[in-house]
Structure 1
């Protein structure tokens, strides 16, 4: 997996998102650095391809209703 960051963009194997690599936090499972995904206002592990937080139950939330099952496309 190739991960690069420039300004407020992170590229993960050709999939680009707005966000940043968090050098202070790491995944509890694989120890990779976490990535902040600006569009959904949450962190995820690119290696495990899972969100660090569950979706909220707020019906007026502008982030959670549109959040996909996994941060990165499968396949």
Structure 2
């Protein structure tokens, strides 16, 4: 898997997202650096293709209702 950071974007195998790589936070399962996905205001592990936090229960939340089950559509 090729991951690069360019300006305010992270590109994962050619798939571009608005976000950043947080080198200070690692996945608890595989120890890879986490990525913050700005569109959903949430961190995920690109290797595991999993969010690191559950959706909130706030009915007026802008982010969580639109968050997909998996962060990356191709993995």
Assess same fold via TM > 0.5: yes
- Tell me, which stretches of 5 or more residues in structure 1 are unaligned? none
Aligned residues: CA RMSD: 0.8
Could you list the runs of 4 or more consecutive aligned residues of structure 1 that deviate by over 3 angstroms after TM superposition? none
| TM score, norm. by length of structure 2 | 0.96
**Corresponding residue number in structure 1 for 2:50:** 50
- Tell me, which stretches of 5 or more residues in structure 2 are unaligned? none
* CA shift for structure 1 position 74: 3.6
**Corresponding residue number in structure 2 for 1:64:** 64
Counterparts of 2:58 and 2:43, CA distance in 1: 18
Q: How many residue pairs are counted as aligned between the two chains?
A: 75
